[in-house]
């Protein structure tokens, strides 16, 4: 049962994105439920990645509002925040993403994403890729380099916590045995799972996955389904994904939004959209 209407973590309201005379997204509204897997589907060129780019701050929408609420009660502050021109009510867990720069959406609103094309650091080890995802926390723990240089206890504690978190997610994606291998040496399906593990190391409340099953064989797609359900169920995480593999979409999605040429043409449960 989708929680999109009763308890949305993300609310996209009348979003339009124009590139000159081209309307890539046309008055789009939808909600992603807290703890749901929400799929955004449609043919190539429908505007799906443009929606992701607006949510994660790569683009600023021409019109509309994008609201992320860490807690259900945060919506009580929405009108006041909108009228005041504020970017966020961080104490209340409310974020107006269309007003925030990309780095704040990741660091403060805790929205993480992966991309259609794998973007790992191939020359770094698998473990180092997950440590890089925790760079901000490690820098703070080091006192912005001084504590790290001197080996102070605060930095050592922060480093141990970062390694423990990286090891935990490597266990979750079955890559702990490859921790010291270069990321570029991993098979394609393992690289996809490593990208998800790296995103999870940023402690997101919303995980945006852009075609995570692209290029996977049927067994790897089944493993991906299992992983995403585990992330949703055991870690109470909300997932928003773009996907062309309808086997993945229909099996794991709580809620599906269908786009065509930037316009929403269907919105509901998997069963509703299928029929």
Query: CA 245 → CA 43, 119, 182, 239, 241, distances in Å?
Result: 11, 21, 29, 16, 11
Residue-level pLDDT at 264: 97
Residue-level pLDDT at 255: 96
In this predicted structure, the answer to whether residue 7 has a pLDDT above a threshold of 80 is: yes
Secondary structure (H, E, C), 47-58: CHHHHHHHHCCC
Place of tokens 């955004």: 40
Which range, of 5-19, 26-40, 73-87, 182-196, averages the lowest pLDDT?
73-87
Beta strands at 37-41 and 238-242: parallel, antiparallel or unpaired: parallel
β-strand partners of 68 = 10, 95
Mean pLDDT for 200-213 is 95
Length of the chain: 275
pLDDT-derived band at 228, boundaries 50, 70, 90: very high
**CA-wise closest residue to 158 among 141, 171, 176, 136:** 141
Mean pLDDT for 86-90 is 84
Residue-level pLDDT at 84: 85
Is the CB of residue 107 less than 8 Å from the CB of residue 115?
A: no
As a whole number of angstroms, the distance between CA 33 and CA 184 comes to 35
Q: What is the dihedral of CA 65, 69, 74, 75, to 10 degrees?
A: 40
**pLDDT over 90 percentage in the chain:** 76
Position with higher pLDDT, 263 vs 79: 263
Tokens of 149: 């240089």
Q: What is the pLDDT of residues 142-176, one digit of tens each?
A: 776 776 666 677 778 888 999 999 999 999 999 99
Q: What is the pLDDT of residues 12-61, one digit of tens each?
A: 999 999 999 999 999 999 999 999 999 999 999 999 999 999 999 999 99
Range 218-224, long-range pairs (CB < 8 A, 24+ positions): 220/189, 220/192, 221/245, 221/247, 221/248, 223/189, 223/193, 224/192, 224/193, 224/248
Place of tokens 């974020």: 95
Dihedral sign, Cα of residue 127, residue 130, residue 132, residue 135: negative
As a whole number of angstroms, the distance between CA 248 and CA 266 comes to 18
Query: What letters, b where the CB count within 10 A reaches 16 and e where it falls short, cover 148-186?
Result: beeeeeebeebbeebeebbeebbebbebeebbeebbeeb
Residue-level pLDDT at 1: 63
Residue-level pLDDT at 183: 96
């Amino acid at each position: 049962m989708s929680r999109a209407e009763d308890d949305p973590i993300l609310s996209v309201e009348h979003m339009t994105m124009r590139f000159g005379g081209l309307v890539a997204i046309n008055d789009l509204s939808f909600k992603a439920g807290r703890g749901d897997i929400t799929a955004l589907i449609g043919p190539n060129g429908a505007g799906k990645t443009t929606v992701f780019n607006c949510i994660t701050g790569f683009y600023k929408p021409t019109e509309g509002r994008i609201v992320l609420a860490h807690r259900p009660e945060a919506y009580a502050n929405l009108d006041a925040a909108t009228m005041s021109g504020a970017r966020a009510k961080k104490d209340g867990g409310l974020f107006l993403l269309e007003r925030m720069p990309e780095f704040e959406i990741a660091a403060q609103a805790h929205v993480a994403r992966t991309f259609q094309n794998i973007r790992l650091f191939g020359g770094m080890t698998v473990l180092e890729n997950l440590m890089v995802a925790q760079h901000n926390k490690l820098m703070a723990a080091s006192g912005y380099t001084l504590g790290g240089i001197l080996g102070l206890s605060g930095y050592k504690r922060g480093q141990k916590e970062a390694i423990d978190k990286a090891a935990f997610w490597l266990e979750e994606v079955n890559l702990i045995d490859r921790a010291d291998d270069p990321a570029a040496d991993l098979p394609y399906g393992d690289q996809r799972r490593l990208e998800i593990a790296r995103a999870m190391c940023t402690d997101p409340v919303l995980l945006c996955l852009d075609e995570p099953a692209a290029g996977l064989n049927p067994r790897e797609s089944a493993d991906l389904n299992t992983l995403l359900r585990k992330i949703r169920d055991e870690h109470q995480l909300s997932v928003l994904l773009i996907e062309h593999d309808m086997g993945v979409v229909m099996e794991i999605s709580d809620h599906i939004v269908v786009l065509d040429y930037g316009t929403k043409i269907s919105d509901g449960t998997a069963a509703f959209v299928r029929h």
